[in-house]
A and B are shown apart, each in its own frame.
Chain A
C-alpha cells in the first residue's frame, strides 16, 4: 500500500518536472515567434520605412468605385416609368475641410439656397458616412445656382459641384404601389447586402430599392459597379487615373403593365379610394394594378422629410398601404360565381333546380333570419337567375348544403386564402375559412350558421383585390392558373438581349365545360337588361361578363335596416365588381373595389367598363404625363 503511493508520488514529481520542461520549451517558442515578428516590424518600419513612407505619403493607388446606372422600368408599350436623370449636386468633402462645417454651410447658403431640411439631412449623412467621402448638401442645383457657385468656388476649397444621377418616377402616385421607390441605404440594408455577399458591388452606391418592383428586382436593376485605379496624394485628392474598369449598367425591366390602362383606371376612380387589378387570363400578365390613393414616390428617393412623412403616415386614407396586395375585404357577392361552380361541380345543384326566396333564409331548428338584400325576396330563383339578380337566399341554402369544408376545398383552388405569388412584396394571404382554420385560429369548433354567410362572400372570408382578380382570371380561362406577374422581360442594357420571364401555368383546376358555360352565361346576363350591372353594360361592343358585389363594412343588427344616407361615409359598404371580356375568348379579367362606394352596380361596374373599353377598343388614349420638373422637396 505505502509502496504504491510512493511510486505514484514519484511519478507526479517527475511528471511535474516534465511538464515544466515542456512549458519552458513553449515559452522559448513564444519568445522566438515574437522576436520573429519584431524583426519583421524592424524591417518594415526602419529598413523599408522610406520606401513605405513614399508609398503612403506622396502618391498612392486607391480604388474608386464607379456607380452603374440603374436599370429603367418600362411599361409594355415602351413608356418609361422609372428613369434616371443627371443633375448637379453641391458636395462637401469633410476630410478636406479644416474649419467649422456650420460656418462653412452658413457661408455657402449666401451663394446657393440651403434649407434647414438640407442641413438636417447633411448632418444625418455625416454621421453615417466615412469622412473621406463627398456628401451632398444640396441636390438638383438650378443652372443659375451652378453659375453662381462656380464664380465663388475659390472661396470654398473642399466643396465641389458634381453631376449625379437621380431617380425619377414620372407616373408618380398612379404607379407608386407598383414601381415602388428607392431610398438611401440604411444599416439594415448593409447587413442584408453583407449576408448575401453583395456589399462589394454597392461600394459607392447610395440608394437601394425599398418597395415594389424597385425592391423585388434590385439585383437586376442595380448593375455591376466599376472601378477606377487612381493615384491620390496624401490629402486624398486624385492626381491621375491609372486604369479603369467601366461599370455595367443595370438591366432594364419591361413590365406587363399598360401605362395607358393604368392611367384610365386611376382616373376612373375619381375621388374614391379603392383598388383595381387587371390580369391577362392567357398568361397571368398584370395589365393594371391600382391602389388609390397613391403617394408621390419621388419624395422618398433622398429621404422624406418628417412633415410629409407624418402627413402620409397618419392620413385616414392610408395612401402608403398597397390595397391591391394588402387590403383585406369580404368579396361579397362576387364570390357567388365560384359558389355556383362549386354547387354544380359537386352535384349539389343542377342548372334548373330552383328555390322559392321569401326574402330570408333560416337554418332548420333556428329562428335566426339570414336576410336577402331584397326585402320580400325574389320569388322563384334558379341558378342562372340567382347570379343575374344576385339572390342571397339561393346561396345561403347552397352554402349550407355544401358545408364549409367542401367550400374550402373547391374554392381554394381559385387562389382564395393564399398568396398569389406576384413579383412584388407585401402580399397578404387573406382568409378562406375551414373547420381546421377556425380551430387553429380561435381554438373553437365551426358552427353551421357561420357557413351561411360564407355563401355570399361575407363572414370570415377576406381576400385581397389581387386574389379576386386572380380567381376571376382562372374562371375566365376555364381553370388555368398562371402566377400573376408584373415584369415581362429583363433586357440587358449593354447587349440589348432580353430574357422573358413568362412562366408556364402553375397548375390547372379541372372544371366541366357545361358547368363553366352555365356560370359564364349568367355572368354575361349580369351586364344585360335585367342584370344587376345592366346600366354599366349598356351598349357594350363585346361580350362583357361580370358580377357585382357589395361588402359590408359594419354588421347590421337583426331588426335594423341598412340605410346609406344615415351612415358615415367611411362606414358605407364597399362596392365590388369582377369582370372579364370578351367572354368567348377573354383577354382581360379584372376586379374593381371601391371603398365605401355603396353598390357594385353603381360605382364599381362603370369603372370596369371604362377600363375594358380602353383595353379592347382603345377608347380614350391619354398622353404621357410631362416629366415632373419641380420637386416639392429637395
Chain B
C-alpha cells in the first residue's frame, strides 16, 4: 500500500535531475554554514526553503505539459499587469522599484516573469508551428521585449537580462534565421553608444568597475577585488571547510547570497570548483537531453530554454565572482541563500520533469 503511494508520488519525478539537484543543494547548505559564520539558524531557514521549493517542484511535475501551456497566456498577462502595477505603485527599495505590496504580502513580479516568458513563447511558437514566418519571430520578440523593458526600467538590469536571455533561447531554438540572428547582434553592438546615456549611474559604474576593479577599491570594485582574492588564495585544494579567511574576516560582501561561490571556492579550491561545475553541467545536460526527446515543439522549446537559462545563471554568477563579468546581482542557483530564487529554479525543474515523465507515460 505504502509502496504504491510512494510509487505514485514518484511517478512524475525525474530521478537523475532530482539527485544532482539535491547534491548541489547539500553543497549549498555546507557552503552556507561556513559563509554565515556557522549560523545554524540560517542553514535551517534555507533547509525549509529547500523543502518548500521541492514541494513546488513536485506539484508542477504532476501537471501535464498541455495543461501548463494552457496557463501560458493568463500567467503572462497577470505578470504584465503586475509589472505595470509596480511601475505605478511599487515600493522603492534600494533605489529601485521592484516590489508590489498586495496588503497581505509583497511580491516581486519580475520573478514570475522568469517562468512566464519562456512558457508564453513556447506556447506561441507551438500554435503557429505549421506556418512559422519571420513575422512570428518579430511578434515573439515584441512579447519578450515588453516585460524585459518594464523590468529594466525598475531598474533591475540583472533580472531583465536573465529574462531576455530565456526568451532569446526560445527564439533561437525555434529556428530563427541565422542572418537575422547575426544582424541582431550587429544591431545591439551599434545600439550601445545610444543606450549608454540611458543607463543609471550605478549601472555605468558597474561596467567601468568590471573593466578595472582597482579603480574604485572602496566602492563598487571592492566586491570584485575581494572575491577574486578569495578564489585565488584558495588554490588547488582550498583552505578547508570553515577556514576561509576572506569570508570570515568579513572581506566578502554578501557572502551568503550572490558571493557564496567565493566562499566555497576559497575553502574547496579548484578541485571543488571542478566538482560543482561538473554537477551543474550534468543538470544542464540532463535538461538538454529532456528537450531533445520532448514530444512536441512547445515542450522542446520550453525544456531547452529552461536548461539554457539555468546555465546562464550559473555562468553569470561564477563570471561575476571570478571578475570576468560585471556585478549584476544574480544568485548562484541551488547554492545561494534565499527562497525566491530556489523556488523559481525548482519550479523550472518541475516543468522539465513533467515534460520528461509525461512523454514516458504516453509511450508506455
A interface residues (Cβ-Cβ under 8 A, vs B)? 8, 11, 15-16, 18-20, 22-23, 26-27, 30-31, 33-34, 36-38, 40-42, 44-46, 48-49, 51-53, 55-57, 60-63, 95, 130-132, 194-195, 197, 227, 229, 232, 234, 236
Q: Using CB atoms, name the residue of chain B closest to A63.
A: B218
Contact call B173/A19, Cβ cutoff below 8 A: yes
Report the minimum CB–CB distance from A361 to chain B (whole Å). Answer: 48
Q: With A and B bound together, what is the CA distance between A264 and B232 in angstroms?
A: 68
What would 6 more interface pairs be, CB under 8 Å, given A44-B232, A52-B232? Answer: A15-B129, A19-B292, A37-B315, A41-B265, A45-B236, A62-B250
Q: Using CB atoms, name the residue of chain A closest to B91.
A: A195
Report the minimum CB–CB distance from A395 to chain B (whole Å). Answer: 44
Q: With A and B bound together, what is the CA distance between A241 and B98 in angstroms?
A: 40
Contact call B235/A53, Cβ cutoff below 8 A: yes
Question: Which residues of A sit under 8 angstroms from B229, Cβ to Cβ?
Answer: 52, 55-56, 60
Q: Using CB atoms, name the residue of chain B closest to A243.
A: B218
- Partner among A20, A36, A227 whose Cβ is within 8 Å of the Cβ of B292: A20
Question: Which residues of B sit under 8 angstroms from A95, Cβ to Cβ?
Answer: 248-249
Contact call A45/B269, Cβ cutoff below 8 A: yes
Q: Using CB atoms, name the residue of chain B closest to A30.
A: B311
Contact call B236/A46, Cβ cutoff below 8 A: yes
Contact call B173/A23, Cβ cutoff below 8 A: yes
Contact call B94/A194, Cβ cutoff below 8 A: yes
Question: Which residues of B sit under 8 angstroms from A11, Cβ to Cβ?
Answer: 130
Q: Does B18 contact A (CB under 8 A)?
A: no
Q: Does B270 contact A (CB under 8 A)?
A: yes
Report the minimum CB–CB distance from A350 to chain B (whole Å). Answer: 53
Question: Which residues of B sit under 8 angstroms from A52, Cβ to Cβ?
Answer: 228-229, 231-233
Contact call A45/B173, Cβ cutoff below 8 A: no
Question: Which residues of A sit under 8 angstroms from B184, Cβ to Cβ?
Answer: none
Q: With A and B bound together, what is the CA distance between A36 and B251 in angstroms?
A: 26
- Partner among A51, A56, A62 whose Cβ is within 8 Å of the Cβ of B230: A56
Question: Which residues of B sit under 8 angstroms from A55, Cβ to Cβ?
Answer: 229, 232-233
Contact call A130/B37, Cβ cutoff below 8 A: yes
Q: Does B281 contact A (CB under 8 A)?
A: yes
Chain B interface residue bracket vs A: 35 or more
- Partner among B37, B130, B232, B265 whose Cβ is within 8 Å of the Cβ of A48: B232
Task: Point out which of A20, A26, A130 has the most chain B C-beta atoms below 10 A from its C-beta.
Answer: A26
Q: Does B302 contact A (CB under 8 A)?
A: no
Known: A23-B304, A38-B274. A33 touches B322 (CB 8 A): no
Contact call A49/B288, Cβ cutoff below 8 A: no
Report the minimum CB–CB distance from B271 to chain A (whole Å). Answer: 9
Q: Using CB atoms, name the residue of chain A closest to B93.
A: A195
- Looking at chain A's contact residues, is the secondary structure mostly helix, strand, loop, or mixed? helix
Contact call B235/A41, Cβ cutoff below 8 A: no
Contact call A22/B270, Cβ cutoff below 8 A: no
Question: Which residues of A sit under 8 angstroms from B281, Cβ to Cβ?
Answer: 30-31, 34
Contact call A53/B292, Cβ cutoff below 8 A: no
Question: Which residues of A sit under 8 angstroms from B172, Cβ to Cβ?
Answer: 22, 26
Contact call A60/B251, Cβ cutoff below 8 A: yes
Q: Does B75 contact A (CB under 8 A)?
A: no
- Partner among A30, A36, A41, A60 whose Cβ is within 8 Å of the Cβ of B231: A41
Contact call B311/A15, Cβ cutoff below 8 A: no
Contact call A40/B324, Cβ cutoff below 8 A: yes
Question: Which residues of B sit under 8 angstroms from A27, Cβ to Cβ?
Answer: 284-285, 288
Top-3 shortest CB links A-B: A52-B232, A56-B233, A44-B232
Interface string of B278-322 (1 = CB under 8 A from A): 001100110010011000010010001000100100010011001
Contact call A15/B233, Cβ cutoff below 8 A: no
Interface string of B60-76 (1 = CB under 8 A from A): 00000000000000000
Q: Using CB atoms, name the residue of chain A closest to B232.
A: A52
Known: A18-B175, A23-B291, A197-B94. A49 touches B233 (CB 8 A): yes
- Partner among B222, B273, B288, B292 whose Cβ is within 8 Å of the Cβ of A38: B273
Question: Which residues of A sit under 8 angstroms from B129, Cβ to Cβ?
Answer: 15
What would 14 A/B residue contacts be, using CB atoms closer than 8 Å? A8-B130, A26-B172, A26-B173, A31-B281, A37-B277, A37-B324, A40-B323, A44-B232, A45-B236, A46-B235, A46-B270, A49-B233, A51-B232, A61-B217
Question: Which residues of A sit under 8 angstroms from B269, Cβ to Cβ?
Answer: 45
Question: Which residues of A sit under 8 angstroms from B324, Cβ to Cβ?
Answer: 36-37, 40
Task: Point out which of A30, A194, A234 has the most chain B C-beta atoms below 10 A from its C-beta.
Answer: A30
Contact call B249/A232, Cβ cutoff below 8 A: yes
Interface string of B152-170 (1 = CB under 8 A from A): 0000000000000000010
Report the minimum CB–CB distance from A544 to chain B (whole Å). Answer: 52
Q: With A and B bound together, what is the CA distance between A69 and B277 in angstroms?
A: 49
Known: A34-B277, A37-B322, A49-B232. A22 touches B245 (CB 8 A): no
Contact call B245/A56, Cβ cutoff below 8 A: yes
Report the minimum CB–CB distance from B251 to chain A (whole Å). Answer: 6
